[in-house]
């Protein structure tokens, strides 16, 4: 199947032919300018829009300027090297992007082989390995004709134009996308049962045994502060990703900060335990992200129903817990 950046260009051509058939609108519509404006507004710069449209940044700027002249409206405030949408620009872009996305999706559908049903999911490696893939057979048994494809989609990766949906950790603020909450990002320490046996209360924790995650340095301080243990500083081995840290904990290297849903299966199987009855909100949630028009597509609708249902199922309870009162001591 052709990739959507190419399909977006096809969609522009389709729009052009449609506009040409509507004679009385020809004087009002400037397709190249509309195309340039939408790309610049979505990507945040003339340079990025130029890369997408295979023209120079200067060409994008000229086309947007001509569009503004034809409309009699300022769409951007140009501040030094920064583009800021005006109120009119925000309103215009919020309507244009879904139109182009819908046209790209429609083109993908009509140009794909009739037997091909593909669902592309942008998801981080750890989420895929620790939660989604172990449950995917359930979805496949319900929808065996849908081909599922995974692509890298961690927190720092922009939402891909060829994605059917994405799964990300954040605050729910992704302009132009629908964000439906899946899980709360609650934090709680986890370790192997052997180490848990020596932890009667949080004050028994020692800094050198606390495994860290490089891109989430705030996790341990957040939890330790909630446990009235801000004096303790995590100084254990540091890993780049949660998955690596949790594997180190499962190998007995120390105590990792667990986050839902990464720890669900390990807790259920007893590979890891949560020694303290204290979980702390990270301040972010896991979200299912998609463009609004996707809800009309059968394959995505089936996946959305399945993942929302599966995510709502109760999480495993920790194998070993102590009282909340003790956790504060």
Average pLDDT, the chain: 82
pTM recorded for the entire structure: 0.64
Higher-pLDDT residue of 118, 148: 148
The β-bridge relationship of strands 165-170 and 280-290 is antiparallel
Average pLDDT score over residue span 297-322: 77
- Chain CA centroid to CA 28, Å: 38
Query: Residue 168: pLDDT above 70?
Result: yes
Spatial distance between the Cα atoms of 171 and 168, rounded to a whole number of angstroms: 10
Residues 6 or more apart whose Cβ sits within 8 Å of residue 188: 223, 257, 258, 263, 274, 276, 278, 279, 280, 318
Give 292's pLDDT tier (boundaries 50, 70, 90).
Answer: confident
- Crossing angle of the two packed helices 298-311 and 133-142, in degrees rounded to 10: 130
Neighbours of 310 (CB within 10 A): 16
What is the percent of the chain where pLDDT is above 70?
81
pLDDT score recorded for residue 116: 53
Query: Residue 259: pLDDT above 90?
Result: yes
Provide the 3-class DSSP secondary structure of residue 284.
strand
Query: Are 78 and 85 spatial neighbours (Cβ–Cβ below 8 Å)?
Result: no
Higher-pLDDT residue of 17, 50: 50
pLDDT score recorded for residue 3: 38
What's the maximum distance between 2 C-alpha atoms anywhere in the chain? 80
> Phi and psi dihedrals of 102, rounded to 5?
-65, -40
Q: Which of 59-73, 141-155, 251-265, 278-292 has the lowest mean pLDDT?
A: 141-155
Residue ranges of domains in the chain, CATH in brackets = 4-111 (1.10.10.10), 118-181+285-311 (3.40.190.10), 184-283+316-327 (3.40.190.10)
Query: Residue 82: pLDDT above 90?
Result: no
Query: Residue 104: pLDDT above 60?
Result: yes
């Amino acid at each position: 199947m052709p990739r959507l950046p190419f399909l977006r260009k096809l969609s522009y051509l389709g729009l052009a032919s449609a506009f040409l058939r509507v004679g009385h609108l020809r004087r009002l519509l400037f397709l190249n300018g509309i195309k340039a404006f939408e790309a610049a507004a979505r990507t945040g710069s003339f340079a990025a829009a130029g890369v997408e449209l295979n023209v120079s940044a200067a060409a994008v700027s000229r086309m947007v300027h001509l569009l503004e002249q034809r409309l009699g409206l300022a769409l951007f405030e140009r501040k030094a090297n920064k583009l800021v949408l005006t109120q009119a620009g925000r309103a215009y872009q919020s309507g244009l992007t879904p139109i182009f996305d819908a046209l790209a999706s429609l083109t993908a559908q009509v140009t794909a082989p009739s037997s091909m049903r593909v669902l592309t999911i942008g998801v981080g490696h750890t989420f895929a390995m620790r939660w989604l893939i172990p449950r995917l057979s359930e979805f496949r048994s319900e929808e065996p004709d849908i081909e599922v494809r995974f692509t890298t989609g961690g927190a720092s990766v922009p939402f891909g134009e060829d994605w059917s949906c994405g799964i990300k950790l954040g605050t729910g603020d992704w302009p132009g996308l629908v964000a439906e909450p899946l899980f709360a990002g609650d934090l709680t320490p986890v370790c192997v049962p052997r180490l848990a046996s020596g932890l009667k209360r949080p004050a028994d924790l020692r800094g050198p045994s606390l495994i860290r995650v490089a891109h989430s340095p705030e996790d341990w301080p957040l939890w330790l502060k909630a446990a009235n243990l801000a004096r303790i500083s995590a100084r254990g081995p540091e890993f780049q990703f949660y998955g690596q840290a949790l594997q180190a904990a499962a190998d007995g290297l120390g105590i990792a900060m667990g986050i839902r849903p990464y720890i669900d299966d390990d807790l259920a199987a007893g590979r890891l335990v949560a020694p303290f009855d204290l979980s702390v909100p990270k301040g972010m949630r896991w979200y299912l992200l998609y463009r609004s028009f996707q809800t009309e597509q059968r394959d995505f609708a089936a996946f959305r129903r399945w993942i929302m249902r599966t995510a709502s199922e109760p999480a495993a309870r920790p194998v070993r817990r102590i009282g909340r009162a003790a956790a504060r001591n």
